[in-house]
């Protein structure tokens, strides 16, 4: 499958990240950069996160049904979701990330998705959808919004969607000097390994959507916003909890 024109840039960026430092790319704690994540500790962090979110949403371990981990990376959250749902699907734009996810957690279904939609899933397919620190890395706000609409389409009536999105960027996140310089030097032929390991540059981008835009997107897609809360990722980050009738 070839990536769509809208997702091609994101796909190239995340293939680089998957080769350079896949665990850090998913959970960017500064002291864990350059291959410093312990694999067990990495997956334990996913378990703690999922336990907190699922218990807050009223789910208990051992529940039936299907869950989607959107932007699964190597499956940090997918593995934890498997304790709550009979079937867990992880989708990601990076072929390398999907390969690693299948190796780490073969009990989940990991699917490569390089399109601007979730057409590989039928309507009303999932009981729960979770996405954290993913939508903000899309190449445009329109693509992020399109995925939110797709969340509403593929969730079952009375199912639950939980996703995170910054509603504002800092000046540094807006300028993104490291990403811009990485892209320029990469285009000039410098290797990703040199740019990352020696110059400490990486291609990770960040976008935002206003809370109003997210709420309108959910509503127009036929969903219903249940609540929002501040996300610990940064001071301008919001987590949205939604459903549909």
Segment 13-62, tens digit of pLDDT: 999 999 999 999 999 998 999 999 999 999 999 999 999 999 999 888 88
CB 18 within 8 A of CB 51: no
Model pLDDT, residue 238? 94
pLDDT of residue 62: 82
Q: How many alpha carbons lie under 13 Å from residue 204 in its C-beta half-sphere?
A: 20
Minimal CA–CA distance to 242: which of 141, 134, 128?
A: 128
Q: Counting beta carbons within 10 angstroms of the beta carbon of residue 102, is it exposed (0 to 12), middle (13 to 18) or buried (19 or more)? A: middle
pLDDT band (50, 70, 90) for residue 173: confident
| pLDDT value, residue 3 | 63
The pLDDT, as a whole number, for residue 4 is 61
Contact indicator for 94, 14 with CB cutoff of 8 Å: yes
CATH entry 3.40.50.150 includes domain 8-169+206-243: yes
Cβ partners under 8 Å of residue 2, min gap 6: 114
| pLDDT at residue 170, rounded to an integer | 86
* Phi, psi of 204, rounded to the nearest 5 degrees: -70, 125
Residue-by-residue DSSP string for the chain: -PPPTTTHHHHHHHHHHHHH-HHHHHS--GGGTTTT--HHHHHHHHHHHHHHHHHHTT--TT--SEEEEET-TTTHHHHHHTTT-SEEEEEES-HHHHHHHHHH-TTSEEEE--SSS-TTS-TT-EEEEEE-S-GGGSSSHHHHHHHHHHHHHHEEEEEEEEEEEES---HHHHH-HHHHHHHHHHHTT--HHHHHHTT-----------HHHHHHHHHHTT-EEEEEEE-TT-TTEEEEEEE--
The yes-or-no verdict on residue 1 having pLDDT over 60 is: no
Question: Residues 49-77: what's their mean pLDDT?
Answer: 93
- Count Cβ atoms below 10 Å from residue 27 Cβ, excluding itself: 16
What does the pLDDT average to over 235-241? Answer: 91
Write the pLDDT tens digit of every residue in 181-227.
999 999 999 999 999 999 999 999 999 999 999 999 999 999 999 99
Tokens of 48: 């703690």
Return the structure tokens found at 232: 């610990």
Task: Tell me what the mean pLDDT of segment 67-94 comes to.
Answer: 97
Cut 0.75: pTM above it: yes
Please tell me the distance from the alpha carbon of residue 204 to that of residue 71, in angstroms, as a whole number.
14
Determine what percent of the chain is predicted with pLDDT higher than 70: 96
pLDDT band at 99 (very low <50, low <70, confident <90, very high): very high
Mean of the per-residue pLDDT values for the chain? Answer: 94
């Amino acid at each position: 499958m070839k990536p769509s024109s809208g997702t091609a840039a994101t796909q190239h960026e995340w293939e680089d990240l998957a080769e350079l430092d896949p665990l850090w790319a998913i959970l960017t704690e500064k002291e864990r950069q350059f291959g410093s994540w312990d694999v067990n500790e990495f997956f334990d962090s996913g378990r703690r996160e999922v336990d907190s979110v699922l218990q807050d949403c009223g789910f208990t371990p051992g529940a039936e049904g299907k869950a989607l981990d959107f932007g699964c990376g190597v499956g940090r959250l997918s593995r934890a979701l498997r304790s709550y749902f009979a079937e867990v699907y992880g989708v990601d734009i990076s072929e390398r990330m999907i390969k690693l996810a299948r190796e780490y957690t073969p009990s989940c279904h990991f699917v490569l998705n390089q399109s601007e939609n979730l057409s590989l899933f039928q309507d009303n397919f999932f009981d729960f959808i979770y996405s954290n620190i993913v939508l903000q890395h899309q190449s445009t706000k329109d693509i992020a919004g399109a995925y939110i609409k797709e969340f509403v389409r593929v969730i079952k009536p009375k199912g639950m969607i939980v996703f995170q999105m910054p509603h504002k960027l800092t000046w540094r996140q807006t300028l993104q000097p490291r990403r811009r310089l990485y892209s320029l030097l990469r285009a000039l032929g410098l290797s990703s390994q040199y740019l990352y390991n020696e110059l400490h540059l990486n291609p990770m981008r960040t976008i935002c959507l206003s809370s109003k835009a997210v709420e309108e997107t959910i509503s127009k897609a036929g969903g219903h916003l249940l609540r929002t809360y501040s996300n610990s990722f940064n001071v301008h980050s919001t987590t949205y909890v939604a459903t549909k009738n």
